[in-house]
Each structure stands twice: as C-alpha cells, then as structure tokens.
Amino acid sequence: MNEIKNTIGVPFCSCTDTKCPCHPTNHDKGCVPCIAKNLKNREIPVCFFKAAGGEKPTDGWHFEDFAALISSLNGQKGL
Ligand code: SF4
C-alpha cells in the first residue's frame, strides 16, 4: 500500500484515492471537502471503513454499506 503524506495536518487519513479532489493532499481544507461530499451523498468516509477492518461485503460507500460491513464483522464475532 502506498504511504500517503498529507501536507496540511491530516496524518490519520487512510484514503489512498489521491485523484479525488477532496483528498487532503489536493487542498488546504483538511477533512472538510471529504465530509461535505460524504454527507451530501449519504456516504461514510473511507477512513471509517478502514478503521472498522474486515472485508467490505458490498461495493458502495453509503450508510447502508457501512452498516453491512459492521454487521458482517459482528457476525464473525457471533453477535
Ligand atoms: S474524513 Fe476523508 S479526508 Fe478525512 S481522514 Fe477520513 S477519508 Fe481522509
């Protein structure tokens, strides 16, 4: 995995899509453009998916996709 070096103070960003105009390496507004885009589209930022771990069971990044990931992880734990 490529190491992403943010220049404006989002060292915890785990998003590797540096072609995205909202990626912190492409502006000086930190997480704001990413969060705004995600809220508008009812999506969850990729850093949350990566922090949750596991393997995404769906293709999308919407609220429902995050819920599906968490449900799958809870299923692995027998919850
Ligand atoms: S909210 Fe977006 S920009 Fe901020 S850390 Fe997460 S993925 Fe990166």
For residue 12, what is the DSSP state?
T
The closest-lying atom of ligand 1 relative to the alpha carbon of residue 22 is: 3
With a cut of 60, say whether residue 68 has pLDDT above it. Answer: yes
In this prediction, residue 5 has a pLDDT band, given cuts at 50, 70 and 90, of low
For residue 37, what is the DSSP state?
H
Radius of gyration of the chain (CA): 14
Q: Which residues constitute the domain of residue 10?
A: 1-79
How many domains does the chain fold into?
1
Provide mean pLDDT across the span 35-57.
97
pLDDT at residue number 37: 98
CA of 3 to the centre of ligand 1 (A): 15
CA of 78 to the centre of ligand 1 (A): 30
Cα-based torsion angle of the residue sequence 57, 38, 46, 54 in order, rounded to the nearest 10 degrees: -30
**Ligand 1 binding site (Cβ under 6 Å of any ligand atom):** 10, 12-13, 15, 24, 31, 34-35, 45-47
User: Under a CB-based contact definition with an 8 Å cutoff, are residues 22 and 34 in contact?
Assistant: yes
pLDDT tens for 19-34 read: 999 999 999 999 999 9
Q: Mean pLDDT across the chain, nearest whole number? A: 90
